[in-house]
Structure 1
Amino acid sequence: MSSKAKVARIALSASAAALGSIATYWTLLALRQGHILFDARKHPVVHLSDDFSTYSHTVPGGMVRGYVYHPQGEEALQDLFIYFAGRGEDVRATAQALHWLPEGFGFAAINYRGVADSEGHPSEVASVQDACQFANHLRRALPNARLHVVGRSLGTGVAIQLVARQSFSSLQLVTPYDSMLEVAKRRFPLVPLSLLLRHQFNSLAHSREVAAKTQVLLAETDDVVLPERSEKLIAAWPTPVSVQTIPGSNHHSIMGLEATWLHLIDFALTTVLPEPKAA
């Protein structure tokens, strides 16, 4: 065999190996994308105080678990934040920041399937189904509370689809995106995501059905959800939307800052109708 033929054979083998590796990588992404997208893994146990009550419902593979914070008791709740977390976030850890909530405010959240103490297989469809079921439970359990939906990062896609299906007092989106497909393209530039990605969280499309009063909170610096992804969603929003940037925040720190919670609280309070004046 000539030297040229040997070089060609080696190059062909290398190309075949590279293509095989790419195909394997794409297959792994296709099969495991739910776990990758939601960062479905267990976390160290976070112990909560007696101010929380627990929630659960059965899903294929186990239970979805959540928590409701009502420090003055359920009867005293006037406003309740229903929170949908970011990727890999354990809502029990986020609940450590609730000392900023004033009297009359509560907090409710579930962990996505497969994340933290919830079981089952995560997916876009499952997360929205679980959100609807959780919201229905809260309406029955707390009929006198005003319900405000809050989503962060990945959870903004869940929050928007929930509010497109049910009525709430307000919707607040922290570091939102127009679609998960567009966000993922930046991380996986060589993958045909439009063909492989099943959980696209097309918030741009679902937002057309949203009628709730809406606020968007942006991080001062964000290298996960780039500003253009949020700006495209904001520009297409069907109703007037308040937009605030949290000073000194980034994509990961924003929910741990007092300023974020004060904006959430203030906006929720502006949705409360004033008492009618006496005749």
Structure 2
Amino acid sequence: MPMPDLRKNLKKIALWAIGIYLAAGLALYFVQDKLIFHPEVLPANYQYKFDIPFQELLIPVNKKVKLSAVLFKAERPRGMVLYFHGNSANINRYAQYMPEFTRNGYDVLIMDYREFGKSTGRLTEAALYEDALLMYKVARSRFAPWQIVIYGRSLGTGIAAQLASVRDCRRLILESPYYSLSDVAASSIPIYPHSLMLEYKLPTNEFLPKVAAPVAAFHGTKDETIPYSSGKKLAEECFKPGDTQFTLKGGKHNNLHDYPLFQAKLDSLLKL
């Protein structure tokens, strides 16, 4: 093939590659909400059914926005856990974990983020932090800060960390935490500038240094959703003396509760 034709063909290939890269990046930008969040909406008249005592709450944000929440009740509560759930489904999915807290004498307040379950309003990062403060306000109407445990699971770890960085609590517990959403995205699709593209930052690494309460984290080494390396980097760079990371060898994203070590350590943390 003559050299000029080769250069011409290589230029075409390069232009096609750049075009595909930019088009794919643009598509990722506009669908990022659907990639990050997987809510299941419930009708307003939906009736929850759980095996342990509970009370449904409707927390008003303003005239148009209301948060659906459920308060799971311990028999003789000595405190409250504020539980921030993951990026999918709604309260129904996470109710199975509530007895782990109520058996230790804690009420548990869990809310659905906006656009999840029966909650209304538009979901934004600022709204996640604003709504977390409302949950804390509910908890403070019943308990003192030293009786409040803030718990985050998966996506909820960044929200929990942000709340603990601006409000006092007894302890912050993180299940499968991430350094930041950008760090998680970079591990999945490393060819894009995620810090510039992501509308949701959730920089847990920026929040933890501001958390005065003791911090404990659980992470499985085989986590297929949030890489163990992201949680490990968070612990190495942002934990203060006395904070603890519990590594569950072979643990995946959704099976940590099956580990006796997880149950034993969680019980121990809640008794401290």
TM-score strictly above 0.5: yes
Contact 2:68 2:117 in 1 (8 A): no
Equivalent AA in structure 1 for residue 72 of structure 2: Y
Q: What's the CA shift for 1:60?
A: 8.5
Contact 2:248 2:256 in 1 (8 A): yes
**Identity, % of aligned pairs?**
20
Contact 2:39 2:89 in 1 (8 A): no
Aligned position for 2:270: 268
Contact 2:149 2:169 in 1 (8 A): yes
Aligned position for 2:96: 96
Aligned with 2:120: secondary structure?
Answer: coil
Contact 1:34 1:123 in 2 (8 A): no
Deviations 1:44-96 (A, max 9, x none): 98633571112232468643211110043xxx311222111122142322112
Contact 2:171 2:214 in 1 (8 A): yes
Aligned with 1:48: secondary structure?
Answer: coil
Q: What's the CA shift for 1:144?
A: 9.1
Q: What's the CA shift for 1:38?
A: 2.3
Aligned with 1:132: secondary structure?
Answer: helix
Aligned position for 2:226: 225
Aligned position for 1:180: 181
Is residue 2:68 matched to residue 1:69? no
Aligned with 1:225: secondary structure?
Answer: coil
Flag the 1:144–1:180 CA change in 2: closer, same or farther, 3 A.
Answer: closer
Contact 2:80 2:139 in 1 (8 A): no
Q: What's the CA shift for 1:244?
A: 1.8
Aligned position for 1:38: 37
Q: What's the CA shift for 1:224?
A: 2.2
Cα RMSD between the aligned structures? 3.2
Equivalent AA in structure 2 for residue 242 of structure 1: T
Contact 2:145 2:170 in 1 (8 A): no
Contact 1:38 1:115 in 2 (8 A): no
Contact 1:213 1:239 in 2 (8 A): no
Contact 1:61 1:121 in 2 (8 A): no
Q: What's the CA shift for 1:17?
A: 6.2
Q: What's the CA shift for 1:171?
A: 0.6
Flag the 1:48–1:28 CA change in 2: closer, same or farther, 3 A.
Answer: farther
Contact 1:63 1:118 in 2 (8 A): yes
Flag the 1:59–1:6 CA change in 2: closer, same or farther, 3 A.
Answer: farther
Aligned position for 1:163: 164
Give structure 2 stretches of 5+ with no counterpart: none
Report the Cα distance in structure 1 between the residues aligned to 2:196 and 2:145, rounded to whole angstroms: 45
Aligned position for 1:27: 26
Flag the 1:39–1:18 CA change in 2: closer, same or farther, 3 A.
Answer: farther
Aligned with 1:250: secondary structure?
Answer: coil
Alignment of 1:127-206 (within 5 A): 127-142=128-143, 146-206=147-207
Contact 1:35 1:122 in 2 (8 A): no
Q: What's the CA shift for 1:259?
A: 4.7
Give structure 1 stretches of 5+ with no counterpart: 271-279
TM-score (norm 1): 0.80
Report the Cα distance in structure 2 between the residues aligned to 1:92 and 1:130, rounded to whole angstroms: 19
Report the Cα distance in structure 2 between the residues aligned to 1:59 and 1:189, rounded to whole angstroms: 40
Report the Cα distance in structure 1 between the residues aligned to 2:192 and 2:234, rounded to whole angstroms: 24
Deviations 1:226-257 (A, max 9, x none): 22211111112134212223466311222465
Between the two proteins, the alignment pairs up a number of residues equal to: 266
Aligned with 1:249: secondary structure?
Answer: coil
TM-score (norm 2): 0.82
Aligned position for 1:276: none
Deviations 1:82-125 (A, max 9, x none): 11112214232211233344252221111122223323332322
Q: What's the CA shift for 1:261?
A: 4.1
Aligned with 2:31: secondary structure?
Answer: helix
Report the Cα distance in structure 2 between the residues aligned to 1:213 and 1:10, rounded to whole angstroms: 60
Report the Cα distance in structure 2 between the residues aligned to 1:173 and 1:144, rounded to whole angstroms: 18
Aligned with 1:252: secondary structure?
Answer: coil
Deviations 1:1-53 (A, max 9, x none): xxx99999998777666655544433333233234312234379863357111
